[in-house]
Amino acid sequence: MTLRATLRLALAALVRNKARSLLTMLGIVIGVAAVIVTVAIGAGARISVQSSIDSLGSNLIVVQPGSVTTSGARSGFGGASTLTPADGMAIASLPGVASVSPVVTVRTQVVAGGNNWQTTVSGVAPTYTFVRLQSVASGRFFSQNEVASSAKVAVLGQTVVDQLFPNGGSPLGSTIIVKGAPFSVIGVMTPLGQSAMGQDQDDTVLIPYTSAMERLTGETTVNSLLVSAASSDDVDLAQQEITQLLEQRHRIVPPQGDDFQVRNLQSIAQAASQTSAVMEFLLAGVAAVSLLVGGIGIMNIMMVSVTERTREIGLRMAVGAPGRTILHQFLTESIVLATIGGFIGVAIGLAGTALVALLARWPTAVPFQWVVASVVFAALVGIFFGYAPARKAASLHPIEALRFE
């Protein structure tokens, strides 16, 4: 018998028992829908973690001073004052490094006209925009010359603009007072929104790091150095180079510990995306178990169906159906059931995913390979669990089957 003829026989048998066919495929429908929704949510979570990490900067490496021990109390990393702009210059000339910006941060009150606002004032270099992948929305960023001359110029984050200039209008050309020193506003940064940790990344004022050191901190050291590796492949290499270079420059010899710390966000990103990948597989595993249960459901109903249709099988055999044709028919029935169930499951899964995205505002993504995989898996479940009932049907003896009451 041809495949097409067998398929038609199976379809006719399934249509004859619509209600039972639908109930039989329910397990597969729910299983596949569960796989699609869980995978979509898992993949969405991973993508959003990745993109919030990407938003921190390109191939970012952070160099912070080490801890310092004062009267037995050890400060955390960044407590020591060991990093200088000169360290930053040296790092910038390393082959694996694209650019470097020193960061000097001071949390202080900023005043403009009648408004004031406490914010983080960061002294940085012009390379900061490149390292953080952030551009200027209006006006301009300060130049290398303005850094060299410790110019009193400032670029504001959007939150600061909103708080200090609540009446709207461009803040460009206005003057803000930081710790008694007037800075003229020359630019506004494009908003970044919240960081992965929930910090408002736009609540900031950027000034040349030289100005920050001279006028705000009065120190010759910086809080951190933001380094951008030449490429994402170079991050680990750059990290090693920086460590070696700073050990040399700071004259650190073992067993003395480093007085600085080099961290790269790539490892954080990897850990985060690995965590969500594990979650994704775990969820998919749970969903796959429900698919398996759906398969057992198919096997049960097909077994019952074979018993119930014993006389039909006997008749088909009597009028000339060989055993293997009966086997093929029942096997095809369960494959068709499972596959249709798989497609319905995908449709419901996609709808459910859209609903989750809409109602819970949860980021979702449906990886195409999972859609294909779950339909294929459903079909395999149909073959696997349909075989035993089909075998049973094919092994019936026509006379006994015809006599079956």
Beta-carbon neighbour count of residue 81 at 10 Å?
Answer: 15
> Omega before 255 cis (within 30°)?
yes
12 makes contact with other proteins (CB under 8 A): yes
Nearer to other proteins, 252 or 402 (CB): 402
71: left (phi over 0), alpha (psi -120 to 50) or beta: left
From 48-56, 149-157, 321-329, 380-388, span contacting other proteins (CB under 8 A): 321-329
Q: How far is the CB of 343 from other proteins (least distance, A)?
A: 25
271 makes contact with other proteins (CB under 8 A): no
23 makes contact with other proteins (CB under 8 A): no
17 makes contact with other proteins (CB under 8 A): yes
304 makes contact with other proteins (CB under 8 A): no
Binding-residue total with other proteins (CB under 8 A): 23
Nearer to other proteins, 207 or 321 (CB): 321
Task: Select the residue interacting with other proteins from 7, 172, 383, 402 (CB under 8 A).
Answer: 402
Q: How far is the CB of 399 from other proteins (least distance, A)?
A: 5
Determine phi and psi for 190, rounding to 5 degrees.
-70, 140
198 makes contact with other proteins (CB under 8 A): no
3-state secondary structure of 56: coil
From 90-98, 240-248, 318-326, 359-367, span contacting other proteins (CB under 8 A): 318-326
Query: Do residues 60 and 230 lie in contact, with contact meaning Cβ atoms separated by under 8 Å?
Result: no
Q: How far apart (Å, rounded) are the C-alpha atoms in residues 275 and 60?
A: 21
Q: How far is the CB of 28 from other proteins (least distance, A)?
A: 23
Q: How far apart (Å, rounded) are the C-alpha atoms in residues 341 and 380?
A: 12
91: DSSP letter: H
Q: What is the DSSP string of 219-275?
A: -S--SEEEEEESSGGGHHHHHHHHHHHHHHHTT--TTSPPSEEEEEHHHHHHHHHHH
68 makes contact with other proteins (CB under 8 A): no
Tokens of 86: 């000169």
398 makes contact with other proteins (CB under 8 A): yes
Query: Do residues 119 and 247 lie in contact, with contact meaning Cβ atoms separated by under 8 Å?
Result: no
Nearer to other proteins, 2 or 167 (CB): 2
3-state secondary structure of 156: strand
Q: Would strands 73-74 and 60-65 be described as parallel, antiparallel, or unpaired?
A: unpaired
Query: Within positions 324 to 353, which residues make up the interface with other proteins, using CB under 8 A?
Result: 324-325
Task: Select the residue interacting with other proteins from 9, 63, 153, 379 (CB under 8 A).
Answer: 9
1 makes contact with other proteins (CB under 8 A): yes
- ∠ CA 268-273-276, rounded to 5°: 130
Task: Select the residue interacting with other proteins from 147, 317, 346, 375 (CB under 8 A).
Answer: 317
315 makes contact with other proteins (CB under 8 A): yes
182 makes contact with other proteins (CB under 8 A): no
Q: Cβ contacts of residue 240 below 8 Å, gap of 6+?
A: none
313 makes contact with other proteins (CB under 8 A): no
| Contact residues: other proteins, CB under 8 A | 1, 5, 9, 12, 16-17, 311-312, 314-325, 398-399, 402
